[in-house]
Amino acid sequence: MLETIAILGRQPALGIAELESLYGVDLVEPYGSSACFINMESSVIAFERLGGTMRLGKVLSELPNTNWNDIENFLLEVGPKHADTIDGKLSFGISVFGLPIPARKIAKTALLLKKAIKQAGNSVRMVPHNDVSLGSAQVLYNKLTAKNGWELLVVSDGKTAYLAQTTRIQDIDAYSARDQARPHRDAKVGMLPPKLAQIIINLAVGKLQVESKKLKVEGSGQERTLVLDAFCGTGVVLQEAMLMDYDVYGTDLEPRMVQYSIDNLAWLDTKYPHKGDYRRIEIGDATKHKWNFSALSNLQPSPLNLRVAGETYLGQPLSSLPTGEHLSKIIYEVNLLHHKFLENIGKQIKPGTRLCLAVPTWRGRHEFLHLPTLDHLTDIGYTRTRFKHVADEDLIYHREGQVVGRELLTIIKN
């Protein structure tokens, strides 16, 4: 039975890979262009750590078909009955995903539903509809996930349709606060979005076990999980890993970035004192640094469960695609750095260690251009993780007009 539906973010493939990584292939089923079923109760899904899922909804029923008039009649029949179960004034709105329905038609249905609920003797307030779906701010500020709130989700793959009720919505204020309120940011090193950092960590961590509604990394026993970011920059990945209650270890070639990370994590620790710890942050060239894992292990009651996550060096910022010779030189230099880094860290981590790295990719005229090293991972001791529901070429984070994107590379040390 389908229990929970996830409404995915701007690049749905990243959200699907994240869910598949954390909960496994058997529990995750992509649906349409912007959603994914998760065959678990929403209460045991670690929603706060999901960077690629905008909403979670409890599946209420399959709709009769994808014809909007029939969907409207269904809502007008069941809506007032469900409103009878609410004490006090009901606030509601309707969001539609995957159906080519104009916003004005959805707004009309919402007004009819409001009228039907009032005629049934219930107090009701409708959130105005200016688009086919409500924005996160509208859902949050109108408290539509609270006891007296509804955001009704109509989600379709074009052939079938389901009705769900939003149970969780991303806290845009919390993301904004820890992105913009921290002591140090630096546009020159590329400001990694916290949501993307969460996805990177979740791909590095791998499958979670759910035990009495508590989560731990599968196979970790009683060990503490340590997340290493060898290119830590201002500490965004370390910050998000701490909020997931992992211990963190960061290194960066630039002393200024190391100090920025230290200051940012100290600030975070004052806001969330009971989350993970930053065990060590130090200057280090990722192509030849010796990470002191043994010293950190001595601080723990049991051995560390290491994961490697982060955004690597993306090369020089580009506003347009360079000429062939110039671009070849850029790719050669950046690729050499990545090859040396993977060789270096591969000598220091145990077989089975999982890594997720956001590495550079360049938007060519017809396709993205990738690091040559990615075609020779087995030669340097790694196996690339493949996802059932997402192809490798879809694991690219990019924005319109960007020349340099980020390819999410998930690998395991052989």
pLDDT tens per residue, the chain (414 residues)?
A: 679 999 999 999 999 999 999 999 999 999 999 999 999 998 889 999 999 999 999 999 999 999 999 999 999 999 998 888 888 899 999 999 999 999 999 999 999 999 999 999 999 999 988 899 999 999 999 999 999 999 999 999 999 999 999 999 999 888 888 877 788 877 666 579 999 999 999 999 999 865 444 455 555 555 678 999 999 999 999 999 999 999 999 999 999 999 999 999 999 988 888 787 777 899 999 999 999 887 776 655 445 689 999 999 999 888 888 888 899 999 999 999 999 999 999 999 999 999 999 999 998 888 899 999 999 999 999 999 999 999 999 999 998 888 999 999 999 999
Residues 6+ apart with CB under 8 A from 58: 3, 4, 42, 164, 165, 167
Cα separation, 83 vs 62, in Å, equals 19
Q: What is the pLDDT of residue 257?
A: 94
Q: Are 314 and 355 in contact (CB under 8 A)?
A: no
Secondary element (H or E) of residue 295: helix 293-297
Distance CA(35)–CA(370), nearest Å, equals 28
Element (H, E) at 154: strand 149-156
Q: Is residue 230 a contact partner of residue 286, using CB atoms and an 8 Å limit?
A: yes
Question: Which DSSP helix (H) or strand (E) runs through 194?
Answer: helix 194-205
3-class SS letters over 90-114? EEEEEEEECCCCCHHHHHHHHHHHH
Alpha-carbon separation of residue 274 from 84, 277, 309 (angstroms): 41, 9, 22
Q: Please tell me whether residue 53 adopts helix, strand or coil conformation.
A: strand
* Angle between the N-to-C axes of helices 236-243 and 172-180, in degrees from 0 to 180, rounded to the nearest 10: 140
Please tell me the distance from the alpha carbon of residue 329 to that of residue 331, in angstroms, as a whole number: 6
Residue 367 makes CB contacts below 8 A (sequence gap 6+) with: none
Domains and CATH numbers, the chain: 4-170 (3.30.2130), 187-413 (3.40.50.150)
Distance between CA atoms of 59 and 368, rounded to whole angstroms?
37
Please give the pLDDT value at position 210.
59
What was the pLDDT predicted at 372? Answer: 96
Of residues 214, 134, 137, the one with CA closest to residue 174 = 137
